[in-house]
Amino acid sequence: MLKGVCGLLYSDLIFIYGFLPITILITFLDRSTEYKNLILVLTSIVFFTFGRPMIVLLLFTTVIFDYLFGLLAGYGKNKWLRNLGFVCSIVMNSSLYIVFCWNSLFKNLGIEHLTFANKLIPLGIAFYTLRGISYVGDVYKKRIKPEKNIFCLFTYMVSYHFMIVGPIVRYGDVSEQIRKRTITGQNLNDGLNRFIIGFAKVMILGLSFEKIKAAGLNLNELTPFGAWVGMLAFIGSIYFVFTGYTDMALGLGTLNGFKYKENFSPIYLSGYVSGIVKGFNKLLTEFFEDFLVAPYKTNKVKYISGILLSGILIGLWYGFSQNFLIFGLYFAFLVLIEKLFLKRILDMLPKIVGYVYTLLAVFMGAAIAYFARLEDFLRWFKALFGIGTDYWWSVNMRNKTLSYLFLAIIGVLIMIPKVKEVIILNLSDFSKKSEKNYAVMRISQTVGICLLLVMATASSVTA
């Protein structure tokens, strides 16, 4: 779970019980948006330098360059200048990304002066660089006007709300809100609730799946049961950690009066792999699709190359290793063949075939991402069918599965959109019946949120 990351995280207790309430209180001292932006920038600086040297702040100077490149890409006298602005932004931000996120590359190549200690690698640098490119790119494509006020751009670039697990907010979506926003009681209510639900997702559900995964995929005692359930638990853990952190980010945004786009759509198996790829971390997928796929829809060769290149880049964005490269290519390939012919075939077959195909495809994709070494992957793959294993399951695996059985079931139910819809519909119907019901529902909600907060805090301390 965000291994190797040092500094402040949303799920840290010092953030939830120290940083966050202080920030909220300070923000409410004045109603003007300028003041709120100033507080946001200052608190973001504290957030990013927490446990790290202040020198990482030097990185924020790239905002000045993005600002200038944006002006060039938007107001350049001729196309050549506009192209130059966009290309410069891509080069600068990609270089930053490679230097910081793929730092192991320099270590392996023996380039010592580019090898940084972990504490010098800023938190959320991957999102930061993508935001820089997306801003200049949107200006270049004339989707938005270049920002003339550098402070507004600075607020957008350094805001800690979406620095850890996204969402990748486009400047066009928030530029108005940066200039003028109000924080209502509804904002506070929704923001707090969402933040705590996200915290509970990460610390209760994510952690439970993580423990089942660790027991099941322990290479020292691989068993068929462990191999199957462990990989499913890995998918669950990834899902809840990502959606949890995103919920926390969106909640923080709402608390500050922002309204960001959703980053995760409900998972419908009827959309096959393409649907899942589009729905999972969808703002990231949209970003690459916008720049690499959408402009080339008329040219088949460019279109196919665009999809494959997007897959590779998304894979490498998740992690700089060969397994992530294969992971990206694997999903890009599946999306491609679905677009070309597979979807039509699957639509003709019984629905269950499509569901099984999608589940298996995601299952294998997760395994590709999980195992960094091919031999480990092969051992796991054989273990799925009982090859090379003496036992069906291990004691540890049994204990972990039983210990978190109810949570795992709840987690799976949450992941199924239809179940979620039915529950929400029933609750909604119940609350509509009378004022009393509505009151019961709202009070239960408050009690539930408090309970989740305490449970997640306790789980966080134990973890």
Partner 1 sequence: MSKKRKKKLNNSQAEVYNRKTDLKNNQKKPDDYDYKNAVYPDNSSLKVPPKGNETASLEGDAVLRKIGKDAVVGEYNFINVAVVFILIMIMGISFALLRNNGEYIENNNKISTETVLNGKFTKKLSKNYMKRLPGKQLLFDTHRVFSYAYGLAGFNDEKGFVSVDTGKIIGIKTYDEPIMVTITTTAPPTTTQYTGKTTNTTRKLKGSLFVGPGQLTTTAKTKKTTTKKTTAKTTSASVPTTTTFTGTTWSFRGTTTWRTTTVKTSAHTTEPPTIYTPPQATTANTTVGFEDEEQ
Which residues have CB under 8 Å from 178's CB, separation 6+? 33, 37, 152, 155, 156
- DSSP summary character for residue 256: T
Q: In angstroms, what is the minimal distance from the CB of 331 to partner 1?
A: 24
Residues of span 70-89 touching partner 1 by CB under 8 A? none
Candidate segments 48-56, 161-169, 298-306, 380-388, binder of partner 1 by CB under 8 A: 48-56
Is the C-alpha dihedral spanning 213, 217, 223, 224 positive or negative?
positive
Candidate segments 20-28, 97-105, 135-143, 175-183, binder of partner 1 by CB under 8 A: 20-28
Nearer to partner 1, 78 or 186 (CB): 186
Nearer to partner 1, 29 or 348 (CB): 29
Nearer to partner 1, 226 or 354 (CB): 226
Q: In angstroms, what is the minimal distance from the CB of 50 to partner 1?
A: 5
From the list 214, 267, 364, 414, which residue makes contact with partner 1 (rule: CB under 8 A)?
Answer: 214
From the list 94, 115, 218, 321, which residue makes contact with partner 1 (rule: CB under 8 A)?
Answer: 218
Q: In angstroms, what is the minimal distance from the CB of 39 to partner 1?
A: 18
Nearer to partner 1, 278 or 398 (CB): 398
How many other C-beta atoms lie within 10 A of the C-beta of residue 310?
24
Q: In angstroms, what is the minimal distance from the CB of 26 to partner 1?
A: 14
SS (H, E, C) 410-456: HHHHHHCHHHHHHHHHHHHHHHHHCHHHHHHHHHHHHHHHHHHHHHH
From the list 23, 223, 281, 323, which residue makes contact with partner 1 (rule: CB under 8 A)?
Answer: 223
Q: In angstroms, what is the minimal distance from the CB of 57 to partner 1?
A: 10
Q: In angstroms, what is the minimal distance from the CB of 394 to partner 1?
A: 4
Query: Taking CB under 8 A as the rule, does residue 186 contact partner 1?
Result: yes
Q: How far apart are CA 27 and CA 35, in angstroms?
A: 8
Query: Taking CB under 8 A as the rule, does residue 117 contact partner 1?
Result: no
Residue 222, SS3 per DSSP? coil
From the list 50, 106, 228, 268, which residue makes contact with partner 1 (rule: CB under 8 A)?
Answer: 50
**DSSP H helical ranges for 256-298:** 272-279, 282-288
Q: Residue 167: name the closest of 131, 211, 195 by CA.
A: 131
Structure tokens at 354: 């499509």
Q: In angstroms, what is the minimal distance from the CB of 143 to partner 1?
A: 27
Q: How far apart are CA 312 and CA 306, in angstroms?
A: 10
**DSSP H helical ranges for 50-121:** 62-75, 79-101, 103-109
Nearer to partner 1, 322 or 457 (CB): 457
**DSSP H helical ranges for 4-78:** 13-14, 20-27, 33-49, 62-75
Q: Return the H-helix or E-strand segment holding 375.
A: helix 374-384
From the list 32, 61, 78, 220, which residue makes contact with partner 1 (rule: CB under 8 A)?
Answer: 220
How many chain residues are in contact with partner 1, going by CB under 8 A? 85
Query: Taking CB under 8 A as the rule, does residue 161 contact partner 1?
Result: no
Nearer to partner 1, 48 or 303 (CB): 48
CA angle 277, 278, 282 (to 5 degrees): 110
Q: In angstroms, what is the minimal distance from the CB of 218 to partner 1?
A: 6
Residues of span 406-435 touching partner 1 by CB under 8 A? 406-408, 424, 427-428, 430-435
From the list 10, 11, 16, 293, which residue makes contact with partner 1 (rule: CB under 8 A)?
Answer: 16
Q: Is the peptide bond before 167 cis (omega within 30 degrees of 0)?
A: yes
Nearer to partner 1, 32 or 186 (CB): 186
From residue 72, how far is each of 78, 133, 152 by CA, in Å? 10, 14, 18
Residues of span 372-411 touching partner 1 by CB under 8 A? 390-408
Q: Residue 215: name the closest of 201, 231, 202 by CA.
A: 231
Query: Taking CB under 8 A as the rule, does residue 4 contact partner 1?
Result: no
Mask for 259-288, x = binds partner 1 (CB under 8 A): ------------------------------
From the list 13, 81, 111, 360, which residue makes contact with partner 1 (rule: CB under 8 A)?
Answer: 13
Q: Residue 367: name the closest of 221, 241, 213 by CA.
A: 213
From the list 190, 322, 337, 417, which residue makes contact with partner 1 (rule: CB under 8 A)?
Answer: 190
The percent of the chain in helix, strand and coil, each rounded to the nearest 5, is 80, 0, 20
With contact defined as beta carbons under 8 Å apart, do 82 and 146 qualify? no
Nearer to partner 1, 190 or 286 (CB): 190
Q: In angstroms, what is the minimal distance from the CB of 227 to partner 1?
A: 14
Structure tokens at 29: 């001292």
Which residues have CB under 8 Å from 152's CB, separation 6+? 37, 175, 178, 179
Q: In angstroms, what is the minimal distance from the CB of 268 to partner 1?
A: 22
From the list 28, 42, 51, 388, which residue makes contact with partner 1 (rule: CB under 8 A)?
Answer: 51
